[in-house]
Amino acid sequence: MFFFLSLRLYFALFGWDQTGEENIIPNPGFEQFSRSPVGWYLKGEHFSKAIKYWHSPTAASPDAYGPKVQVPVSWREKGFGIQTPHTGFGMIGLTLYGCKYGKPHCREYAQIQMAEPIIVGQKYTVSFWMSSLNNTLEINQIGIAFTHKPAKEPGEGVLNLHPQIVTKEIQKCREGTWRQYETTFIADASYDYAILGNFSADEQTLTEQKGDGRLLFAYYYFDDISVRKAPPIKEIAIPDDDLSRLIPKQGQVIVLKDIFFDWDQAELMPRSLVELKKLLALMQHFPEMRIEVWGHTDSTGSKEYNSRLSSYRAKAVVNFLFEQGIDSQRINYAGWGSSKPVASNETQEGRMQNRRVEFKIVHE
């Protein structure tokens, strides 16, 4: 019980927000890049590789804007990229309407895994800033769909989802200016992902011409996306097997829940911090405890590749603890690749179980 109370104190002091003021959208201003973009993207997968933590759930590609982005001349002549970000130096652009006029990539979406799950019954304040491209069509039906699993659609059309947040009125933006949309909602289920876009067909979307309206599609820039708990803050039931309730015993092997990496990558996703902060608090509360962190993969790929990837992922967890001040003498790590499965690699569910990071208590 004492450890659990000290864990709550740690969270209060070191960033686990209990007031509802923390934004649970990672990289909300689109200023963190996985790689330096030098142009625009033809496929959604290209956008997903460029902007940290954000992905395109379809084959259509959102546009990224930043200091090193070069907008093609033919598109810049139409006005693309002239708009400055709302804050900072990054923003994205989405085509949200124009299928019936033959616009390629007539629906674009941006998807992200939130830093913590949406809680059933909790009230949230949702906000985003937008600015429409000149001489296009301005629309309503701009919204955010919260989902439990990431959306993945091989085509370029409308996602068949029901957004919890949607603009009922046409979002009009004066040239060069930004407009904020803010609202609240009470979650009816637990959600892990947020998807920004227009989830309605063209026939169900209202439009209004902006400028000369020669561009028969709707295109909006987006910046500073925010999802925050709103008072009253709902208490969360802590399950018995939660890491915060652990009493260490030598020889125990514990699987870290909800440790996330991008596909074939070893960089920790922001959502992983929920569990890692619990492990950090555990190490701080039991200063004599020493552990070994083990990384595991499924059987997809070569043994050499899996061994290397699992080692890098285990090291990422260890580096987090080192960066938070845990003595390096207390932690070792190893990558076991696919050599220690806990389920069959013949099924998707089994492979998911095998892709894991766990730790063994070698001294309590």
Q: For 254-257, which contacts have Cβ atoms below 8 Å and span 24 or more sequence positions?
A: 254/358, 254/359, 254/360, 254/361, 255/356, 255/357, 255/358, 256/317, 256/356, 256/357, 256/358, 256/359
Measured in residues, the chain has a length of: 364
Q: What is the pLDDT confidence band of residue 16, given thresholds at 50, 70 and 90?
A: very low
Tokens representing 270 are: 């922001």
Q: What is the mean pLDDT of the chain?
A: 91
Task: Label residue 79 left, alpha or beta by phi (over 0 means left) and psi (-120 to 50 means alpha).
Answer: left
* pLDDT tens, position by position, 100-110: 999 989 999 99
Largest CA distance in the chain: 72
- pLDDT of 280 above 80: yes
- Residues 191-199 have a mean pLDDT of 98
Determine contact, residues 165/194, Cβ cutoff 8 Å. no
pTM for the full model? Answer: 0.88
Residues in CB range of 199: below 8 A, 6 or more apart: 141, 143, 145, 158, 159, 160, 161, 162, 163, 166
Q: What are phi and psi of 184, to 5 degrees?
A: -125, 155
Determine contact, residues 110/95, Cβ cutoff 8 Å. no
- Tell me how far apart the alpha carbons of residues 109 and 193 are, in angstroms, rounded to a whole number: 13
Q: Residue 35 has what pLDDT?
A: 75
Q: What is the pLDDT confidence band of residue 265, given thresholds at 50, 70 and 90?
A: confident
Q: What is the pLDDT confidence band of residue 40, given thresholds at 50, 70 and 90?
A: confident
Please name every residue paired with 130 in a beta bridge, in sequence order, or none if there are none.
179, 222
Q: What is the pLDDT confidence band of residue 222, given thresholds at 50, 70 and 90?
A: very high
- pLDDT of 8 above 50: no
* pLDDT tens, position by position, 105-138: 999 999 999 999 999 999 999 999 999 999 999 9
